Amino acid sequence: MTQHNEFDLAVVGTGGAAMSAAIHARLEGASVVAIESGTLGGTCVNVGCVPSKTLLAAAHTRHAALTNPFPGAATSAGAVDLGALVQQKDELVGMLRQTKYADIVAAYGFDILPGTATFTDPSTLLVDGRPVRAKSYLIATGAEPTIPTIPGLEQIDYLTSTTAMELTELPASLVVIGGGFVGLEQAQLFARLGVEVTIIGRLAPHAEPELSSELRKAFLTDGITVIGDRAATITPHDDLVRVLTRTGKVATGERVLVATGRTPRTDGLGLATAGIATDTRGFIIVDEQQRTTNPAVFAAGDVTDVPQYVYVAARTGKIAAHNALGHSEQVDYTGLPSVLFTSPQLASAGITEAEAIAAGYRCACRYLRLADVPRAIANHNTRGGIKIVADADTGKVLGVHALADTAGEMMLAATYAIKAGFTVTQLADTWAPYLTMAEGIRLTANLFRNELPTSCCA
């Protein structure tokens, strides 16, 4: 470690934003230290993306066996051993924590300092009471599940997206409070492992309505009960938990999982003492260069009010590190993609129709059912659709949105098209390999000039 703890950059956290910042600072030749009060790796590898997606993959695999559309190729699925799945998940997490975090720290040559970081004034950072001095500081402590104020919640042993990933036995029934990305993934995960699931909340409320409506149908087909309301009270009821909604609807389950958003992890940092302002929800306020209201301190990732995706955290961490070292860069969110890893997947790139109208565009939109996409027909799975949002005056593509089993994979092409400024005509005339789901983007773009049905390859 550098003598006298004097660094070019001190990073608080070791998640996606923190690691990206440390890596890019080291590539610039800067001296770096990262401070971690918990487990190396942050949310994504430990309790977020990696564990949830690997368990979702297991659940989808089981469901595919149960709902096989090809009677000539029989499949079957037996009982679920959740303990074995969780052990497999934990082994994967441990491997990635080593190869993508611990080994990276060694490769790039910076130190991890264990301990709790606290600012005692605008220019002093203590770690477990010891000063760590740096020219610039970066806060990248991430976020954690929000616990809503619902009367009775404190009286039950509720689950969060974190603790749900630690269960070793499946509950017979589960009530999921929250219809956002985390709630939907968790609901389908447990439903496809054989749990009776009820969701309380609006499903994907910010998605294109055509797609959120189709996703709701898919969930109902999976046997998931959907109550489009908000939880009002929670009470124990025999051996179950009873959730009453604002309009008087009732859901009961053996366990309750709370998935109502995430809140920044800033307790104990001493932000006010350091002159670092937060918004009304507690997220650290940063300017376009990721600088906080303390000129020596930057912040990046989920602790700030940005879209909570690991790739956004990584990009903001990189920009923050560069700017802390004297550059002047900004994050360009044009064509930003997102993926909900349900089945079918709900994925987007760019902006929705509602967002385009709010931004002052005169919109033109086209929607293609998956029943008109050859790949979906061949798969015997035509649930979903594709929607393109365009500027009616210029024809430029503003957003691409899809509900399909490989919708996430389609969004890279969509992001490229939006970033490159493609018009719908250019998109319709761009090569697309036949019998791929991504071909559906080209087919949807073609609807802007011809809404008559076409031949398979036309």
pLDDT in tens, the chain (458 residues): 444 559 999 999 999 999 999 999 999 999 999 999 999 999 999 999 999 999 999 999 999 999 999 999 999 999 999 999 999 999 999 999 999 999 999 999 999 999 999 999 999 999 999 999 999 999 999 999 999 999 999 999 999 999 999 999 999 999 999 999 999 999 999 999 999 999 999 999 999 999 999 999 999 999 999 999 999 999 998 899 999 999 999 999 999 999 999 999 999 999 999 999 999 999 999 999 999 999 999 999 999 999 999 999 999 999 999 999 999 999 999 999 999 999 999 999 999 999 999 999 999 999 999 999 999 999 999 999 999 999 999 999 999 999 999 999 999 999 999 999 999 999 999 999 999 999 999 999 999 998 777 766 66
Distances from the Cα of 43 to the Cα of 163, 238, 351, angstroms: 13, 35, 26
Instruction: Report the distance separating Cα 230 and Cα 176, nearest Å.
Output: 11
At 29, phi and psi to the nearest 5?
Answer: 85, 10
- Would you say 207 and 348 are in contact if contact means Cβ atoms under 8 Å apart? yes
Q: Angle between the 181-192 and 209-221 helix axes, to the nearest 10 degrees?
A: 20
pLDDT at 1: 44
What DSSP state is assigned to residue 230? -
**How many CB atoms lie under 10 A from the CB of residue 95?**
12
- The β-bridge relationship of strands 297-299 and 130-139 is parallel
Among 360, 379, 357, 382, which Cα is nearest to 369's?
A: 382
Q: Measure CA 361 to chain center.
A: 27
What are the start-end ranges of the H helices in 3-129? Answer: 16-27, 42-46, 49-66, 82-97, 103-108
Half-sphere exposure of 185 (CA within 13 A, CB side): 26
pLDDT at 451: 77
Cβ-based neighbours of 187, under 8 Å, separated by 6 or more: 174, 176, 197, 199, 219, 224
pLDDT at 450: 85
What DSSP state is assigned to residue 169? S
Domains with residue ranges and CATH for the chain: 3-145+263-324 (3.50.50.60), 153-259 (3.50.50.60), 337-446 (3.30.390.30)
Structural tokens at position 382: 């035509």
